[in-house]
């Protein structure tokens, strides 16, 4: 279902699978287009997070190594 389908049907999005693989900035822009009041929190993969539900919070889990680590 696309965001336009969600808007047309009155549904509010709760996930954004299309942002997987994008930069944090790009992901935030897309999420904010659908949910302008989102409180976006960037969290390293594997971090402990609270289990409380906040309807405006969207967590972006990040943690892929992008380049070869090296000394220097």
Number of domains in the chain: 1
For residue 72, tell me if it sits in a domain. Answer: no
For residue 67, tell me if it sits in a domain. Answer: no
Residue-level pLDDT at 65 = 78
Look-up of token digits 């389908």? 5
For residue 42, tell me if it sits in a domain. Answer: yes
pLDDT lower than 70: segments of the chain: 1-11
For residue 24, tell me if it sits in a domain. Answer: yes
Residue-level pLDDT at 1 = 44
**What CA–CA distance (Å, rounded) separates 39 from 57?**
5
Residue-level pLDDT at 10 = 60
For residue 56, tell me if it sits in a domain. Answer: yes
Residue-level pLDDT at 70 = 82
**What CA–CA distance (Å, rounded) separates 7 from 12?**
7
**Domain span holding position 16:** 3-62
Strand partners, 58: 40
For residue 47, tell me if it sits in a domain. Answer: yes
CATH code assigned at 54: 3.30.10.10
């Amino acid at each position: 279902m696309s965001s336009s389908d969600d808007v047309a049907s009155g549904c509010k999005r709760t996930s954004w699978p299309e942002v997987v693989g994008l930069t944090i900035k790009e992901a935030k822009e897309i999420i904010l287009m659908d949910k302008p009041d989102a409180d976006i929190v960037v969290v390293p993969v594997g971090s402990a997070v609270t289990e409380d539900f906040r309807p405006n919070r969207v967590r972006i889990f990040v943690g892929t190594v992008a380049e070869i680590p090296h000394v220097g």
